[in-house]
Every structure is written in structure tokens, then in C-alpha cells.
Amino acid sequence: MGLKNFFENIFKKDEVKEEDIQKIDEEVIEDEEKLEEDLLSSEIDEVSPEKIEESKNTDNNNSFKKILDSKEKNINIQEDFKESFKSDNETQDIQINSQDSIEDKQQLQEDENKEEVRETLENEGTVVVEQEKKGLFARLKEGLKKTSNSFTSKFDNLFKGYIKIDDELYEEIEEILITSDISFETTIKIVENLKSNIKKKNINDINLVKPELKEVVSELLRDNNSKLDVYDEQSIIIIVGVNGVGKTTTIGKLASKFKKEGKSVLLAAGDTFRAAAEEQLEIWSKRADVDIVRHKESGSDPSAVIFDAMQKAKSKNIDILICDTAGRLHNKVNLMNELGKIMRTVNKEYPDAKKEILLVIDATTGQNALNQVKTFNEAVNLTGVILTKLDGTAKGGVVLSIIDEYKIPIKFIGVGEKVDDLQEFDYNNFVEALFDNSKE
């Protein structure tokens, strides 16, 4: 390898090693010897040793000066390489230190950002909760849109056409309430209370009638207790209702709700009569990640299935057992008697458990829902009602009649197909959504 190529390769490298410097020294010596041999061989004739010595001692001998210059030059190159090597290492150290400094700053910034986020979440946790509440109300409002539009728009149009409060106005109010699927008895109560309040408060302005009506409806629902009594001890929930009201879906949504709240949940497939009912409930159990008790034999005794489920709930210390039952027409005496048998089994085998018997009603049935409440309540002493499919009807007024006439609380209302659309009934939110016909 020539010196030129060698040095070029050295310059291409990122670092200069000690072995490279040693190799330079060896190359320099070899070149000196080669130059001396070339000098000697440049004479055509033989040259005596004296002649050679004389040539070396001659100041004008260009060849020897070339050797000396070359050697000195190579020494200088070695020194340059050493300085370069040292400088490169120092530069590399500076770059490493600089990179470390940048990384430290980045890490410090990330830590500061994380701390800021943590403090924000702590300081604004209530804001997140409020946003969640607003989200629930927005879904409720959307679900009640049909009822609200029918209910409120009629009143708005009514009050625009009157300039004074008289008996004719009250008759118009009665008609609107009845056509909103509020029973006659409840309608009369609402109108009488409205008259009384207007008289007591000496209200003469037609524009103040609607706010007062809203207050009367709110007062009617105020005693509704929507809280389920299933949180302090082992509990059992019996779901009843006619076919097609959404019992199985409601059970699945309840299971998901309780599971998210940290409760252990077990389902009992007590609807052994309807085809595919047990399979549907098993699908919901997998979605909610809860266990299910079902019998393999088709048409098994519902009481036997629920009996086995209670034994498992007691042995596994399950928090909440939810039992499905066969859908039945409220006017079929033999099927209603079957519910009585189930309840006797529950009371005997699970006496210490908290019990909720919930009737699931399709809100689209309107006034027929009242007949269902009456018949099922006579058979099993209902503790609450779940009203489904409110988002698909303008007949949400039935809520008022159920609470007023039967004093049975509304526990949940369904305002959509999502799991979170099964909401605990909040009478304040319900009234606000009912009377809010804004376009937002």
C-alpha cells in the first residue's frame, strides 16, 4: 500500500488507532531504504563505497535531501495524526456530553408534562364527572325526543293562542296530557294541582303556566325511589314481563353494569319455554364476563333452574343473582301462577337475600303498560319497573301514571341500544328532558 492510499484510508475513518501510527513509522522506514537503493542503482557504472560516502556528505545531493525531507514530513504527519486523534476524541466527548444533556432535558420535560397531567386530572376530576353526567343527560334527552317534542310543542302552541288563564285553558291542558299516554286519573290530579298552585301564587301571566306545570309534574315524581336494594348484602333480582319487551337484553345490560361496579354476578336462565332464550342469555353472559346457570334439557322446570342458581350463588358467595323468567301474557292465569311458584322457591331457599322483582315494560305499549303493572303486581308484589324502548315512542307519559297510580318506582329506563343507554331513573333529569324541546 502506498503512503497516499494509506493516508487517504486513514482520513476516511472516524477514529485513528495506535496501530495505525505504528504502521506509519514502518512505512517511513521502508520508503527511506527504497530511496537509498534507488539512489545507488541510479549509477550506470559501479560506484565505489567512497563515492557513495562522498555523495552522502555533499550538501548539494538532492536525493538525500529528499529522503530527509520525506522523513521529516512523515514525522510531522504522525504528529498531526496524534493531534487529530486527540481532537476527535475530545470532539466526540463533547458530542456525547451534549447528547446526554439534550436527553436529560427531554426527560425532565417529559417528567414535568406527566406531573402536569397528573395534577390536572386530580384538580379537574370533578369536571370529568360532570362531563359524564352531561353525557348521560344528553342521551336521555335524545331518547325522550319523540315524547318531548309531542308533549312540549303542544303546550307551546297552546299557550301562544291564549291571553288569559281560564277553564277552557285547563281543558286543553287535560287533552294534551291524556293524548301523551298519561292516564285519566293522573291527568286529573296534575290539572287540579296546577289550578291550586296558580291560585295560591296568584299567577295571571299565561307565560308562567308552563313552568308551573313542570313543577307539578316534578312534585308528582319526587317520591320515586330508583335505587336498587342490592348493594349491601347478597341479592337476587327476578326479571318478569311479557314476551318481546326486552327482558333478556335488559338482564345483559344490568349484568354489565354491576360487573363494572365490581360486583360478582351470576345469571339464571329461567326462561325455559321460549326457543333460543337460554342461548341468547348465555351470549350476554359472555359479553358481560359473568357466569350462567342453565339446564341442557329443553323445557326444564324454571323453578329448578333458579334453585340450582341459588345454590351456586350461596356456595360461591355471589353478590347479585339475576334470574330470567319466561315471557307470559298478563291475562294467562296459569302462567302467572308459575311466577308464584318461583317466588315461593326463592323465599324458601334464599331467605336472607335482598330481593328485587322487576317488571320490564315496552314503553311503546302506552296505556296497556298499566294493565301489565296491575296484573304482575298482584302475582308477585313488584318492587320496581324497567321501562324499555322509550327512544322509539312518544308515549313516555306512562311513566307518570305508573308512579302515581301504583306507587311502584321506576328503577331504569331504556333510551337506546347501547349498554349505557339503560339508565337509572332520575326524576329531575326526566322532567328536564320532557319539558326541553330545544333543537340542540
The answer to whether residue 62 is domain-embedded is no
Report in angstroms the alpha-carbon separations of 438 from 214, 218, 244, 432, 434: 16, 19, 33, 11, 11
Residue 220 counted as an annotated binding residue: no
- Identify whether residues 326 and 303 lie together within a single domain: yes
Q: What are residue 356's DSSP bridge partners?
A: 237
The answer to whether residue 31 is domain-embedded is no
Per-position b or e across 381-402, b if 16+ CB within 10 A of its CB: ebbbbbbbbbbebbbbbbbbbb
Q: What integer pLDDT is reported at residue 296 of this predicted model? A: 82
End position of a domain, from candidates 198, 221, 244: 221
Residue 247 counted as an annotated binding residue: yes
> Which domain CATH number covers 293?
3.40.50.300
- Identify whether residues 284 and 188 lie together within a single domain: no
Look at residue 293 and give its three-state secondary structure.
strand
Are 363 and 388 in contact, with CB atoms under 8 Å apart?
yes
Q: Mean pLDDT, consecutive 10-residue segments, the chain of 440 residues?
A: 50 49 58 55 46 47 49 54 51 50 55 49 41 55 65 82 87 90 93 96 92 94 87 91 91 95 95 86 94 87 94 96 84 76 93 94 87 91 92 76 93 87 89 71
- Identify whether residues 288 and 397 lie together within a single domain: yes
Residue 388 counted as an annotated binding residue: yes
The answer to whether residue 113 is domain-embedded is no
Residue 248 counted as an annotated binding residue: yes
Q: What integer pLDDT is reported at residue 21 of this predicted model? A: 53
Residue 327 counted as an annotated binding residue: yes
- Identify whether residues 215 and 362 lie together within a single domain: no
Are 333 and 361 in contact, with CB atoms under 8 Å apart?
no
The candidate with the shortest Cα–Cα distance to 339, out of 230, 235, 238, 228, is 238
The answer to whether residue 332 is domain-embedded is yes
The answer to whether residue 300 is domain-embedded is yes
- Identify whether residues 191 and 274 lie together within a single domain: no
- Identify whether residues 320 and 388 lie together within a single domain: yes
- Identify whether residues 376 and 255 lie together within a single domain: yes
Domain of residue 173 covers 138-221
> Which domain CATH number covers 198?
1.20.120.140
End position of a domain, from candidates 190, 221, 252: 221
The answer to whether residue 111 is domain-embedded is no
- Identify whether residues 311 and 336 lie together within a single domain: yes
Question: What does the alpha-carbon distance between residue 205 and residue 169 come to, in Å, rounded to a whole number?
Answer: 13
- Identify whether residues 199 and 278 lie together within a single domain: no
Question: What does the alpha-carbon distance between residue 252 and residue 322 come to, in Å, rounded to a whole number?
Answer: 9
Residue 246 counted as an annotated binding residue: yes
Burial category of 420 from C-beta neighbours within 10 Å (exposed 0-12, middle 13-18, buried 19 and up)? middle
DSSP 392: G
Q: What integer pLDDT is reported at residue 13 of this predicted model? A: 45
Are 294 and 317 in contact, with CB atoms under 8 Å apart?
no
Residue 328 counted as an annotated binding residue: yes
- Encoded amino acid at 395, one letter: K
Question: What does the alpha-carbon distance between residue 389 and residue 369 come to, in Å, rounded to a whole number?
Answer: 13
The answer to whether residue 66 is domain-embedded is no
- Identify whether residues 275 and 386 lie together within a single domain: yes
Residue 252 counted as an annotated binding residue: no
Report in angstroms the alpha-carbon separations of 48 from 38, 45, 53: 16, 10, 9
Residue 340 counted as an annotated binding residue: no
- Identify whether residues 255 and 174 lie together within a single domain: no
The answer to whether residue 120 is domain-embedded is no
Residue 213 counted as an annotated binding residue: no
- Identify whether residues 211 and 273 lie together within a single domain: no
Residue 428 counted as an annotated binding residue: no
Domain total of the chain: 2
Report in angstroms the alpha-carbon separations of 275 from 130, 231, 331: 43, 33, 22
Residue 242 counted as an annotated binding residue: yes
Q: What integer pLDDT is reported at residue 109 of this predicted model? A: 56
Handedness of CA 311, 312, 316, 321 (dihedral sign): negative
